[in-house]
């Protein structure tokens, strides 16, 4: 079973896509739309201080009638960040996402953020893993 770091290495984007907490929320939305992603890491002075997601936008801007042009990322970002370690496996990531009800997990190694995994990334990996197991079992049964 692959580690979080191995799954990250197979993603289309190897760069860490992030935003400054002092930027307006509209900028975060533009970046997420451009990269077709659902969350951004919020970095201040080279340190991860939060994560902003489409869910944060829906709950804190849309439902409360606020403006994404005047509200800053730091005002709506999630500050209590749940992370995966680079060596954590797929099961650990899925378990954390289910228990904590989150859809995105930053991956850390030696207190450095390597990237972010989404629920979709982990589900895709689980399907590939199970498909491989099934193929191995079918080969074993045939021989």
Angle between helix axes 119-142 and 90-100 (nearest 10 degrees) is 140
- For residues 95-110, give the mean pLDDT: 96
User: For residue range 104-139, what is the model confidence (pLDDT) as tens digits?
Assistant: 999 999 999 999 999 999 999 999 999 999 999 998
| pLDDT for the residue 142 | 86
Q: Look at residue 13 and tell me whether its pLDDT is greater than 90.
A: no
* Contact between 5 and 94 (Cβ < 8 Å): no
- How many percent of the chain have pLDDT more than 90? 90
CB atoms within 10 A of CB 26: 16
Q: Look at residue 24 and tell me whether its pLDDT is greater than 80.
A: yes
Domains recognised in the chain with CATH numbers? 4-142 (3.10.580.10)
Tokens 């994404």 -> residue = 68
Q: At CA 128, angle to CA 34 and CA 18, rounded to 5?
A: 25
| pLDDT for the residue 126 | 93
Joined tokens for residue 50? 């939060």
User: For residue range 55-84, what is the model confidence (pLDDT) as tens digits?
Assistant: 999 999 999 999 999 999 999 999 999 999
| pLDDT for the residue 106 | 96
| pLDDT for the residue 124 | 94
Strands of the sheet with 18-19, listed across from one edge: 18-19, 39-44, 47-53
Phi, psi dihedrals of residue 81, rounded to the nearest 5°? -90, 125
What does the DSSP assignment read for the chain? --BHHHHHHTSS--SPPEE-TTSBHHHHHHHHHHHT-SEEEEEETTEEEEEEEHHHHIIIIITTT--TTTSBHHHHSB-S---EETT-BHHHHHHHHHHHT-SEEEEEETTEEEEEEEHHHHHHHHHHHHHHHHHHHHHHHH-
């Amino acid at each position: 079973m692959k580690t979080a770091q191995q799954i990250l290495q197979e993603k289309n984007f190897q760069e860490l896509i992030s935003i400054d907490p002092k930027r307006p929320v509209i900028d975060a939305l533009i970046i997420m739309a451009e990269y077709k992603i659902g969350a951004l890491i919020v970095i201040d002075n080279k340190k991860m201080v939060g994560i902003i997601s489409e869910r944060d936008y829906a709950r804190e801007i849309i439902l409360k009638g606020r403006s994404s042009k005047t509200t800053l990322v730091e005002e709506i970002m999630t500050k209590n960040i749940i992370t995966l370690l680079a060596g954590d496996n797929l099961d650990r990531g899925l378990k954390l996402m289910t228990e904590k009800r989150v859809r995105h997990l930053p991956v850390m190694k030696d207190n450095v953020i390597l990237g972010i995994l989404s629920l979709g990334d982990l589900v895709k990996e689980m399907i590939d893993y199970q498909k491989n197991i099934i193929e191995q079992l079918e080969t074993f049964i045939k021989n």
